[in-house]
Amino acid sequence: MGKAANTRLTILQKSFDLIYVNGYQATSIDVIIATTQVTKGAFYYHFKNKDDMGMAVVNEVMYPAMTEVLIKPLINSADPVNDIYKMVHGLLLDNPHMQVKYGCPVNNLTQEMSPINEAFSQVLTRLVNECNEAIMQSVENGKKAGSIRANVDAWQVAYFVMSGYWGIRNFGKLFNSADCYHTFLKELHSYLQGLK
């Protein structure tokens, strides 16, 4: 990787970390260039403005990461009752890039930015829709394979699972403890069993 490309990637990754912890609007460009040791001239060479950088963080850092941990594990799954549970369990408890205290980066950014910035809404919608579709598709596969009741609505399940995941992430932030994750996962397990 060339030096310039490296500078750009450094900005994106460090910015992601700062936004994850402090929120987007509370993450100033001055702090970003201080932590990255990149000058303001370099920053504005690589990005048109702050929002341009924020959008790049979504598309080039968050999107690939979510694909890896949420979508890939569900593709070609014909046993969604187990695979969805495992995916959510992994997302909550086994992901080294997320911390209980700071919740889910996608959830955080959606909540903060979607009502006040249409461009953020769009890139986040694309990301979130793909997550929903992955869950939906796995449920459809399960229905075909007979591991899920035929009268289960796959879209409803997708929204229900994603909503639950986002919501319990917020509890985790509030209590700063993973205890609630275990409580949630037990009930998620019951719920998913009920789809059989």
Partner DNA sequence: TGCAAATAATACTAATCAGTATCTTTTATG
Partner DNA sequence: CATAAAAGATACTGATTAGTATTATTTGCA
Contacting positions for DNA (CB under 7 A): 2-4, 7-8, 27-31, 38-42, 44-46, 49-51
141 near a second copy (CB under 8 A): no
35 near a second copy (CB under 8 A): no
**Rounded Cα–Cα distance for residues 140 and 137 (Å):** 5
Q: Are 112 and 44 in contact (CB under 8 A)?
A: no
158: three-class secondary structure by DSSP: helix
Which residues, 6+ apart, have CB-to-CB distance to 117 below 8 Å?
51
103 near a second copy (CB under 8 A): yes
Shortest Cβ 3–DNA spacing (Å): 5
φ/ψ (deg, to 5) at 89: -55, -45
Closest CA to 55 of 65, 63, 45: 63
> Given the complex with a second copy, which of 38 and 88 has the nearer CB atom?
88
Closest CA to 120 of 173, 40, 50, 45: 50
Structure-block tokens of residue 107: 């959830």
Which partner from the list DNA, a second copy, none does 13 bind, CB cut-off 5 to 8 Å by kind? none
Which partner from the list a second copy, DNA, none does 160 bind, CB cut-off 5 to 8 Å by kind? a second copy
> Given the complex with a second copy, which of 44 and 63 has the nearer CB atom?
63
Sole binder of a second copy in the list 48, 101, 144, 196 (CB under 8 A): 101
Spell out, one character per residue from 14 to 33, where the chain touches a second copy: x when CB under 8 A holds, - when not: -------xxx-xx-------
Which partner from the list a second copy, DNA, none does 44 bind, CB cut-off 5 to 8 Å by kind? DNA
Q: Are 165 and 91 in contact (CB under 8 A)?
A: yes
Structure-block tokens of residue 108: 């955080």
Which partner from the list a second copy, DNA, none does 51 bind, CB cut-off 5 to 8 Å by kind? DNA
Cα angle for residues 139, 145, 146 (degrees, 5° grid): 90
Which partner from the list DNA, a second copy, none does 45 bind, CB cut-off 5 to 8 Å by kind? DNA
